[in-house]
Amino acid sequence: MPSDGLERLARELRGEAKFDEPMARHTALRVGGAADLFIEPADLADLQDALAILRKEEIPYFVVGGGYNLLVRDAGIRGCVISLRGLDGLKPQPDARLEVGAGVANGMLCRVAAENCLAGVEFLCGIPGSFGGALAMNAGAHGCETLQRVETLTTLCNGELVVREAAELSFGYRYLKLYPGEIVVSARLSLEEAERQVIEARMAGYLSLRGGSQRVTFPSAGSFFKNPPGAQAWSLIDQAGLRGVSVGGAQVSEVHANFLVNRGGACATDFLALAALVKVRVQETSGVELEEEVRVVGEG
């Protein structure tokens, strides 16, 4: 039975609320047990009200973006899972700036930027998921990273809106340092003016490259492991002879060795066992210890 605090939250939320919601419906890998409560606040004010209840009732919470780069264990998530899809503001600003909400899809961001002749985020066009997720993990491709384009970052920290200048941020390869419980809600991007056809041609080139090497046909979370310094994870996995290897319904993709895919009927335990096998084999063959890029959450 849900707690009184979760019941109150579900009643007072203006957005959507679902009890015992399977996280397999909200993750790209299509695995994961149920969340006690899954909510999608209608807007920023609704999110702030929800967080006030969660803090008062001392209920743990976890924020999910587009569900990529995420593996939820089979016993699910206790407390509340928060989707930021409702934070979907996307507004061009003077001087080649763009204000972007955390719930905006990366593909939509790229389209709107191109329509407004703003260049600098084309590398995100082939990265699935939400902009909030791209910020939180400093997603990147083709030598570019999301946070390199951030002028200001707005977060919710202890219920208060905090706006940080780029110079105040601590980030690096696939990470952004945040305080416990801090939630990214939007960012202002500093871009450059360019001709729309030039921007769209660049995006088409990126999509072509990604389509050739990463067109997997089964559910995946994208790159499962980070690239070690001076190496590529997919190459190390391939050298270890793991392309196509399976554990249960989870498989090292035959198309891209750094993608672990759901061939059907997989559970989170299959992916965890396969990831452990990959790490051991790569350590044995190359001496490199791989680190997960995918975030593993929930109870086993």
* Active-site residue, selected from the candidate residues 40, 122, 145, 293: 293
Q: Active site residue: 145, 223, 253, 281, which one? A: 223
Task: Choose, from 8, 78, 174, 210, the residue flagged as catalytic.
Answer: 174
Catalytic site residue 182? no
Angle, helix 196-214 to helix 106-115, in steps of 10 degrees: 150
Clarify whether 83 is annotated catalytic.
no
Q: Is 223 a catalytic residue?
A: yes
Residue 79 has a CB neighbour count (10 Å cut-off) of 18
CA dist 252 and 255 (Å) reads 9
| Helix (H) or strand (E) segment spanning residue 72 | strand 70-72
Distance separating alpha carbons of residues 178 and 196, to the nearest angstrom? 35
Torsion of CA 49, 55, 57, 62, to 10 degrees: 90
CB 45 within 8 A of CB 34: no
Q: Point out the residues that are catalytic.
A: 174, 223, 293
